[in-house]
Amino acid sequence: MQKTVHIIGAGISGLSAAVRLANANFKVHVHEATQQAGGRCRSYFDAATNLTIDNGNHLLLSGNRHAIAYARSIGTETGLVGPKRAQFPFVDLTTGQRWQLDLGDSRLPLWVFNASRRVPDTGLLDYLALMPLIWASPGRLVGDAIPSDGTLYRRLVQPLLLAALNVDPPEGSAGLAGAVVRETLLAGGQACRPLIARDGLSAVLVEPAIKLLQGKGASVQFGHELREFSLAAGSVGELKFGTDTVAIGSGDAVIMAVPPRPAASLLPGLKTPTKFRAIVNAHFRCDPPNDMPPLIGVVGGLVEWLFAFPQRLSVTISNGDRLLEMPREELAQAIWRDICKAAGVQGELPPWQIVRERRATFEATPEQNALRPGAATAYRNLFLAGDWTDTGLPATIEGSVRSGNRAADLVLAMPQA
Ligand SMILES: Cc1cc2nc3c(=O)[nH]c(=O)nc-3n(C[C@H](O)[C@H](O)[C@H](O)COP(=O)(O)OP(=O)(O)OC[C@H]3O[C@@H](n4cnc5c(N)ncnc54)[C@H](O)[C@@H]3O)c2cc1C
């Protein structure tokens, strides 16, 4: 008999679990509280710029192998586009200096031995000083493991770890930072090619998954918020959605793939991260200069990463809580000034939009990392997924996909009822 799984939440973690289980011939039901799938990784039409934009500029690296495999499984791997070689142009807005970090295309970080490919004004010893990060424990602070000053820190370590951890790097978990470094920088240029969903996050990572699921007979219900579990005798008996209640059969399973706050209220006693950090994205409607690279790292300014999309320049600012109360127009003007310098453009502020995601990620500190639960729960038919579960990575698409796959694998391994 075909087994049934209910997946609560249609973010990337819920969708990756759903796709894996639909492919394993499960009857899949996805329940999403909002009217749109994708969660923190979605696109929408924005009237201010008259463009379809993403809630945030999401960057993947070619070393994010589970995220890429997920895209492949829904037929959109080619929608993740980037340069052939792992090259990262940077600009320092305080000095006007520009350089390109060229990580090459090797499986080893050979670029650190080549002065012309390294960050300018850095030497081999600066890179060797980063080694303790590679085997650091999750409970250690980045600031206690590696130097948090100097040229290499300012021009590479700080931008990379700030983007990955979404906290000021010295206060971040060295174990999480180490996992990122092992899977990207240490794995050579082949693992560091930047990849962007150029046609939008929903078109590349979300809608094709929904289509695939529906094609396999799965149901995807929007506006269907789980309000309560009926829990009895070590398992979930019912799902209560407010207007309707779904009974869970004895061999069936539930994957809860919602953010930490709803997860904690649905499952009292569940340990979850309790602190979060914001990410600020700003989008400006204008044609990028013809020779502009798709991504520029910016140091010495408000902006951290500048992305060139068709008809749009967009920026990302991580650890953005300090900007949450700043008046929108003032923030847009300040960001636009940075963009003009970094992209070499001029002119009045074009149509713009600012998206401030307050709880973009859990705080990737040792203290919060210690609160992440695994995928199994005290209930034999209930499993957890989400970027905040204990994936060993910071809150990223790669972590979300891994968590979804892991929850799905636990469902597949459930003993027969
Ligand atoms: C602005 C921004 C920029 C980012 N940049 C990057 C980046 O560059 N690279 C990268 O790898 N990652 C990035 N991330 C992180 C990435 O977006 C997340 O790690 C990932 O999308 C999380 O997916 P998830 O499925 O774990 O959770 P979510 O996306 O939060 O999905 C949870 C889903 O559950 C639904 N839900 C909640 N409660 C209920 C309920 N009771 N019943 C039913 N449904 C419910 C929610 O509506 C949501 O759809 C960024 C995030 C943000 C916000």
pLDDT digits (tens, 9 = 90+) for 283-295: 999 999 999 999 9
Q: How confident is the model at residue 403 (pLDDT cuts 50, 70, 90)?
A: very high
Query: How confident is the model over 371-395, as pLDDT tens digits?
Result: 999 999 999 999 999 999 999 999 9
Give dist(CA 217, CA 336) in Å, integer: 47
Ligand 1 pocket test, candidate residues 31, 58, 243, most atoms within 8 A of CB: 58
Task: Report which protein residue has its CA nearest ligand 1's atom 38.
Answer: 258
What's the confidence (pLDDT) of residue 112?
87
Distance (Å) from CA 196 to ligand 1 centroid: 17
Ligand 1 pocket test, candidate residues 397, 402, 405, most atoms within 8 A of CB: 397
- Residue 165 Cβ inside 6 Å of ligand 1? The answer reads no
Give dist(CA 252, CA 258) in Å, integer: 19
Give yes or no for a contact between 86 and 104, defined as CB atoms under 8 angstroms apart.
yes
What tokens appear for 192 in the block?
A: 């560091």
Give yes or no for residue 74 having a pLDDT over 80: yes
- Residue 194 Cβ inside 6 Å of ligand 1? The answer reads no
Longest dimension (CA), the chain: 67
What's the confidence (pLDDT) of residue 28?
98
Q: How confident is the model at residue 109 (pLDDT cuts 50, 70, 90)?
A: confident
Task: Report which protein residue has its CA nearest ligand 1's atom 7.
Answer: 58
Helices (H) and strands (E) in the chain, counts: 13, 20
Give yes or no for residue 225 having a pLDDT over 80: yes
Ligand 1 pocket test, candidate residues 6, 31, 40, 58, most atoms within 8 A of CB: 40
What tokens appear for 76 in the block?
A: 């959109």
**Helical packing angle, 65-73 and 397-412, nearest 10°:** 70
- Residue 357 Cβ inside 6 Å of ligand 1? The answer reads yes
Give dist(CA 84, CA 93) in Å, integer: 27
What tokens appear for 363 in the block?
A: 């705080």
Residue 231: CA atoms inside 13 Å, Cβ hemisphere, count?
14
Q: Say whether 239 sits in a helix, a strand or coil.
A: strand
Q: How confident is the model at residue 22 (pLDDT cuts 50, 70, 90)?
A: very high
Please identify, by atom number, the ligand 1 atom nearest to the C-alpha of residue 59: 8
Give dist(CA 339, CA 243) in Å, integer: 49
What's the confidence (pLDDT) of residue 169?
97
Q: What predicted TM-score, i.e. pTM, was given to this entire model?
A: 0.96
Give yes or no for a contact between 36 and 224, defined as CB atoms under 8 angstroms apart.
no
For the segment 14-43, the average pLDDT, to the nearest whole number, is: 98
Distance (Å) from CA 46 to ligand 1 centroid: 19
Give yes or no for residue 21 having a pLDDT over 80: yes
Contacts of 102-107 with CB under 8 Å at 24 or more apart are 102/189, 103/185, 103/188, 103/189, 103/192, 104/188, 104/189, 105/188, 105/189, 105/190, 106/188, 106/189, 106/190, 107/187, 107/188, 107/190, 107/191
Give yes or no for residue 416 having a pLDDT over 80: no
Task: Report which protein residue has its CA nearest ligand 1's atom 15.
Answer: 396
Distance (Å) from CA 360 to ligand 1 centroid: 8
Distance (Å) from CA 12 to ligand 1 centroid: 7
Query: For residue 229, what are the β-bridge partners?
Result: 239
- Residue 16 Cβ inside 6 Å of ligand 1? The answer reads no
Query: How confident is the model over 146-204, as pLDDT tens digits?
Result: 999 999 999 999 999 999 999 999 999 999 999 999 999 889 889 999 999 989 999 99
- Residue 258 Cβ inside 6 Å of ligand 1? The answer reads yes
Q: How confident is the model at residue 303 (pLDDT cuts 50, 70, 90)?
A: very high
Task: Report which protein residue has its CA nearest ligand 1's atom 53.
Answer: 360
Task: Report which protein residue has its CA nearest ligand 1's atom 48.
Answer: 39
What's the confidence (pLDDT) of residue 395?
98
- Residue 120 Cβ inside 6 Å of ligand 1? The answer reads no
Q: What is the DSSP letter of 249?
A: P
Q: How confident is the model at residue 417 (pLDDT cuts 50, 70, 90)?
A: low
Query: For residue 307, what are the β-bridge partners?
Result: 295, 314
Question: Residue 75: which region, alpha, beta or left (left: phi > 0; alpha: psi -120 to 50)?
Answer: left
Please identify, by atom number, the ligand 1 atom nearest to the C-alpha of residue 400: 26
What's the confidence (pLDDT) of residue 1?
76
Task: Report which protein residue has its CA nearest ligand 1's atom 12.
Answer: 396
Q: What is the DSSP letter of 374?
A: -
* Percent over 70 (pLDDT), the chain: 100
User: At 293, which amino acid appears?
Assistant: P
What's the confidence (pLDDT) of residue 293?
92
- Residue 395 Cβ inside 6 Å of ligand 1? The answer reads yes
- Residue 306 Cβ inside 6 Å of ligand 1? The answer reads no
- Residue 260 Cβ inside 6 Å of ligand 1? The answer reads no
Place of tokens 């859990």: 362
What's the confidence (pLDDT) of residue 285?
97
Distance (Å) from CA 121 to ligand 1 centroid: 38
Give dist(CA 391, CA 396) in Å, integer: 10
Ligand 1 pocket test, candidate residues 258, 316, 401, 406, most atoms within 8 A of CB: 258
Distance (Å) from CA 106 to ligand 1 centroid: 32
